[in-house]
Structure 1
Amino acid sequence: PDDSRLYIADRRNFVVRMVTLKEKEEAFITTVAGTGSEGDAADGTAADKAGLDGPSDVCTDMGEGGSGEVVYIADCDNHTIRRLAWQAAAAASPAGGPARRTSVPTVQLF
């Protein structure tokens, strides 16, 4: 493709980075979420101001008909899945929260 993206969960630096790969051009690395310090943030916080604590994985979804890219971040030490929608440019938590839970099957964070 003409414009491809690779997302990297940089756990020890508390950020998610995006590498933009363009044919016949240099790659660019951008921090798209996190502040560089461990933390947590309320839903609606700008992605570059949203504290992360151990982002461990990243998944993307282009939406129906390519309507807009959404990035899901496994914020491991906050026990949260963060959602970053490019149109909103703000982080949200569709699942989980910062509280620790036991492995009792009847207790859910959702």
Structure 2
Amino acid sequence: MARGFLKEQEKGKIKLNLPVKLARNSENNFYASLVQDIGEDYFTIMVPYKEGRPLILNPGEEALGRFVQEKTSFLFYTFVLGKHREKNLLFYVLALPEKIEEVQQRMYVRFPIIMDVW
């Protein structure tokens, strides 16, 4: 296996130190964060920031997440289970998503087609 490439069963999975972006469910304004911990049914991230401003979420609130692995973008829905503070850093505890979908990033997709030209 080439260095830096994921095994097929690891693609599209949330992992430690994975950069993720989070937005409120009804918005398309994503804030950047990093996965800090993973449990059986949850994962923990630092509070996401965008341009120096934090994304404030409350327990029970639904959020939209996205991340990129090997040039493939993934999208998922989650909700906030809780939040806690360690050494002046605020963390969100989020539910592990039931489903993570692969998302096409380009507006147009190229298909390899051979056509006769007259």
TM-score (norm 2): 0.31
Q: Which is richer in strand?
A: 2
Q: Which is richer in helix?
A: 1
Report which structure shows greater RCO (CA 8 Å, sep ≥6): 2
TM-score (norm 1): 0.33
